[in-house]
């Protein structure tokens, strides 16, 4: 049984599942090299099948999300990108079967049910409460449901206060962050979340009230112009050194935490496990408060909580829920991109480079699903190198001054280094506090409020990376995505080209090859 999962909205993606095994799951942007790329691309689908040695005729079921609005939009703007198969326009609340047109069976799955499936079916739990929240999809922006064995039950699509749209609107209109393309909902939320740690939320709540009043003008169609919902008549907050810019970010962050905790607490009915997905689940600061302040003991946020997870969500839903196949509760490996067969790295040598204080571009195995680099397409170094954050921001990644960096920490040392953290953090989705005695050793990943966003690494999840860190002798390594003002590198050629533009990086590892920069 071969299922092809597709999603065509922003952060478009494709996935192939064969007899329950994920053969591939990756994003259009990694192939097209356009960040948050969207729409249907026949070339991308062909490439996806080619990487699995499959053809379209091998596909038994097409699993997708078919919001009519997206198809209409693509048809209007880029008719040459329309899918070559039948599109249904029947309303459906959860999922609906349709005929693809050539005898292939089709299952369309609701946007938020895809998010729910992407969270629950990649979790290690056999039962869980499921919550999703984002900027909107299929006329809803949230959902609740229960995971019970291989089924998602009592699914309820919801419309809640659109906090995600507050973030995209304020990034675009007030912090003056560019959109990558016309249909980009705003790429800066993660940046402003980083800035928020520098600010102080307003003490008396006036700023919070003003933010809500201004930004809540959406989604009334007459206010659809995003500028109509800008904060304080488009007040310019683009000077991020100003206290005002920082305090507005801090106030929005505090409000997000408050609302999220309240929503999660409202759905708590004595369960232990929570699976959480949707674009808002990328807010790792807020995610920490779920563990801290609600009744749930365990939190699973998948590596693709935003719309990058919708293709795999649809495919997993069909495999488990529709076709009634069991859920195994195994660790979901995020390394599901194409395999370019680059060989295995020299663990000792890479460890020595890190120990010697070198900054390295590290490319190994298959690329990661979702927006985070998790040690297969990463820039790695010792987090205690003096001013390493400034060096990376100003000379390697060319990012804003306030952007923090994150560590990979071996599971055995997490307790020693961190407090107030989610023990299940294989995908860098929850922030943590660095204990005082480690703040200097981890200075490069210690944010202004002494928090960090760790990837906590178990040996069995990635033994090569684990052994490299052991060989480095470092307590943790700084890990940031291997890219330069474009999507994370995908192919070995992308890696070579990107490394060539990074004069301050000392070495490039591509599988079994090491390129050391002279001088
Ligand atoms: Fe979404």
The predicted-structure confidence for 436-467, as pLDDT tens digits, reads as follows 999 999 999 999 999 999 999 999 999 999 99
As a whole number, mean pLDDT of residues 343-352 equals 98
List the beta strands (DSSP E) in 227-359. 273-277, 298-300
pLDDT of amino acid 184 = 67
The CA 279 to ligand 1 mean position distance, Å, reads 6
As a whole number, mean pLDDT of residues 200-224 equals 81
The CA 90 to ligand 1 mean position distance, Å, reads 20
The CA 381 to ligand 1 mean position distance, Å, reads 34
- Nearest CA among 73, 60, 67 for reference residue 87: 67
pLDDT of amino acid 69 = 74
In percent, the amount of the chain with pLDDT more than 90 equals 82
- In the chain, what is the greatest distance between 2 CA atoms, to the nearest angstrom? 63
pLDDT of amino acid 304 = 98
- Estimate to the nearest angstrom the gap between the alpha carbon of 358 and the chain centroid: 28
pLDDT of amino acid 230 = 86
The CA 306 to ligand 1 mean position distance, Å, reads 6
The CA 242 to ligand 1 mean position distance, Å, reads 32
Q: Sign of the CA dihedral 513, 333, 289, 169?
A: positive
- Does residue 70 surpass a pLDDT of 80? no
**Token output for 116:** 């729910």
The rounded distance, in Å, linking the Cα atoms of 451 and 429 is 13
Peptide bond preceding 219: is omega within 30 degrees of 0, i.e. cis?
yes
Query: How confident is residue 227, by pLDDT bands cut at 50, 70 and 90?
Result: low
Beta bridge partners of 300: 275
Query: How confident is residue 228, by pLDDT bands cut at 50, 70 and 90?
Result: low
As a whole number, mean pLDDT of residues 51-61 equals 95
The CA 248 to ligand 1 mean position distance, Å, reads 25
Q: Is 382 left (phi over 0), alpha (psi -120 to 50) or beta?
A: beta
Q: Which pTM was predicted?
A: 0.96
The CA 413 to ligand 1 mean position distance, Å, reads 35
The CA 233 to ligand 1 mean position distance, Å, reads 28
pLDDT of amino acid 163 = 93
Quick: pLDDT tens for 74-84: 778 778 778 87
The CA 236 to ligand 1 mean position distance, Å, reads 28
Place of tokens 């009634």: 324
Query: How confident is residue 408, by pLDDT bands cut at 50, 70 and 90?
Result: very high
Query: How confident is residue 215, by pLDDT bands cut at 50, 70 and 90?
Result: confident
The CA 366 to ligand 1 mean position distance, Å, reads 25
More confident residue, 467 or 226: 467
The CA 375 to ligand 1 mean position distance, Å, reads 25
pLDDT of amino acid 10 = 87
pLDDT of amino acid 73 = 77
The rounded distance, in Å, linking the Cα atoms of 320 and 2 is 13
- Does residue 1 surpass a pLDDT of 60? yes
Beta bridge partners of 516: 507
The CA 313 to ligand 1 mean position distance, Å, reads 11
Query: How confident is residue 225, by pLDDT bands cut at 50, 70 and 90?
Result: low
The CA 232 to ligand 1 mean position distance, Å, reads 27
pLDDT of amino acid 179 = 78
- Nearest CA among 131, 164, 160 for reference residue 145: 131
As a whole number, mean pLDDT of residues 65-75 equals 78
Query: How confident is residue 226, by pLDDT bands cut at 50, 70 and 90?
Result: low
The CA 103 to ligand 1 mean position distance, Å, reads 29
Domains of the chain: 2-121+301-322 (3.30.420.40), 163-299 (no CATH), 347-516 (3.90.870.20)
pLDDT of amino acid 114 = 97
pLDDT of amino acid 100 = 85
Three-state DSSP class for 405?
coil
The CA 174 to ligand 1 mean position distance, Å, reads 23
- 456 to 24, 160, 376, 407, 466: CA distances (angstroms): 24, 32, 15, 8, 10
The CA 3 to ligand 1 mean position distance, Å, reads 21
DSSP type of residue 175: S
The CA 417 to ligand 1 mean position distance, Å, reads 34
More confident residue, 53 or 84: 53
The CA 296 to ligand 1 mean position distance, Å, reads 23
The CA 57 to ligand 1 mean position distance, Å, reads 30
pLDDT of amino acid 136 = 87
Query: How confident is residue 90, by pLDDT bands cut at 50, 70 and 90?
Result: confident
pLDDT of amino acid 218 = 56
More confident residue, 341 or 218: 341
The CA 314 to ligand 1 mean position distance, Å, reads 12
Tell me if 150 sits within 8 A of 321, measured CB to CB: yes
- Does residue 224 surpass a pLDDT of 60? no
Tell me if 505 sits within 8 A of 359, measured CB to CB: yes
The rounded distance, in Å, linking the Cα atoms of 13 and 27 is 4
pLDDT of amino acid 12 = 94
As a whole number, mean pLDDT of residues 258-273 equals 96
The CA 309 to ligand 1 mean position distance, Å, reads 9
- Does residue 504 surpass a pLDDT of 70? yes
pLDDT of amino acid 223 = 52
Element (DSSP H or E) covering residue 148: strand 140-148
The CA 131 to ligand 1 mean position distance, Å, reads 12
The rounded distance, in Å, linking the Cα atoms of 486 and 33 is 7
The CA 136 to ligand 1 mean position distance, Å, reads 6
The CA 105 to ligand 1 mean position distance, Å, reads 24
- Nearest CA among 67, 71, 63 for reference residue 90: 67
The CA 133 to ligand 1 mean position distance, Å, reads 8
Quick: pLDDT tens for 108-129: 999 999 999 999 999 999 999 9
Query: How confident is residue 137, by pLDDT bands cut at 50, 70 and 90?
Result: confident
pLDDT of amino acid 82 = 80
Q: How many residues belong to the chain?
A: 519
Query: How confident is residue 518, by pLDDT bands cut at 50, 70 and 90?
Result: confident
Element (DSSP H or E) covering residue 381: strand 377-381
pLDDT of amino acid 102 = 77
- Does residue 213 surpass a pLDDT of 70? yes
Query: How confident is residue 14, by pLDDT bands cut at 50, 70 and 90?
Result: very high
Please compute, for residue 243, the number of CA atoms within 13 A of its CA located in the half-sphere on the CB side.
3
């Amino acid at each position: 049984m071969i299922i092809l999962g597709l999603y065509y909205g922003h952060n478009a993606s494709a996935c192939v599942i064969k007899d329950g095994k994920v053969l591939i799951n990756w994003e259009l942007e990694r192939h097209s090299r356009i960040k948050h790329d969207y729409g249907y691309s026949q070339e991308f689908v062909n490439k996806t099948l080619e990487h699995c040695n499959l053809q379209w005729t091998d596909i038994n079921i097409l699993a997708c999300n078919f919001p009519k609005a997206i198809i209409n939009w693509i048809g209007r703007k880029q008719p040459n990108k329309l899918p070559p198969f039948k599109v249904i326009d029947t309303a459906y609340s959860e999922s609906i079967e349709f005929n693809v047109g050539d005898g292939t069976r089709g299952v369309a799955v609701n946007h938020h049910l895809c998010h729910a499936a992407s969270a629950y079916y990649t979790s290690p739990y056999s039962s869980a409460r499921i919550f999703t929240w984002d900027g909107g999809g299929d006329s809803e922006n949230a959902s609740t449901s229960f995971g019970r064995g291989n089924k998602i039950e009592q699914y309820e699509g919801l419309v809640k206060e659109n906090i995600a749209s507050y973030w995209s609107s304020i990034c675009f209109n007030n912090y003056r962050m560019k959109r990558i393309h016309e249909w980009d909902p705003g790429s800066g939320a993660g940046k402003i979340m980083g800035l928020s740690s520098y600010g102080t939320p307003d003490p008396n709540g006036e700023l919070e009230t003003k933010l809500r009043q201004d930004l809540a003008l959406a989604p009334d169609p007459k206010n659809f112009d995003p500028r109509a919902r800008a904060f304080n008549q488009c007040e310019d907050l683009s000077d991020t050194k100003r206290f005002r810019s920082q305090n507005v970010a801090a106030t929005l962050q505090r409000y997000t935490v408050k609302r999220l905790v309240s929503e999660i607490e409202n759905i708590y009915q004595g369960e232990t496990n929570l699976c959480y997905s949707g674009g808002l689940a990328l807010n790792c600061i807020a995610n920490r408060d779920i563990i801290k302040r609600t009744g749930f003991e365990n939190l699973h946020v998948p590596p693709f909580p935003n719309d990058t997870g919708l293709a795999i969500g649809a495919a997993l839903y069909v495999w488990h829920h529709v076709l009634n196949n069991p859920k195994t509760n195994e660790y979901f490996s995020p390394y599901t991109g194409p395999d370019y067969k680059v060989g295995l790295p020299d663990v000792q040598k890479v460890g020595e480079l890190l120990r010697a204080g070198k900054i390295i571009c590290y490319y190994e195995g298959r690329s990661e699903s979702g927006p985070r680099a998790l040690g297969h397409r990463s820039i790695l170094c010792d987090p205690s190198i003096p001013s390493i954050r400034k060096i990376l921001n100003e000379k390697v990644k060319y990012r804003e001054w306030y952007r923090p960096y994150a560590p990979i920490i071996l599971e055995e040392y997490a307790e020693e280094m961190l407090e107030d953290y989610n023990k299940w953090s294989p995908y860098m989705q929850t922030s943590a506090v660095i204990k005082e005695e480690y703040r200097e050793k981890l200075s490069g990943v210690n944010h202004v409020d002494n928090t960090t966003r760790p990837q906590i690494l178990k040996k069995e999840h990635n033994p090569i990376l684990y052994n490299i860190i052991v060989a480095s002798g470092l307590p943790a390594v700084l890990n940031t995505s291997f890219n330069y003002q474009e999507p994370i590198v995908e192919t070995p050629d992308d890696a070579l080209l990107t490394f060539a533009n990074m004069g301050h990086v000392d070495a490039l590892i591509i599988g079994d090859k090491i390129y050391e920069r002279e001088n």
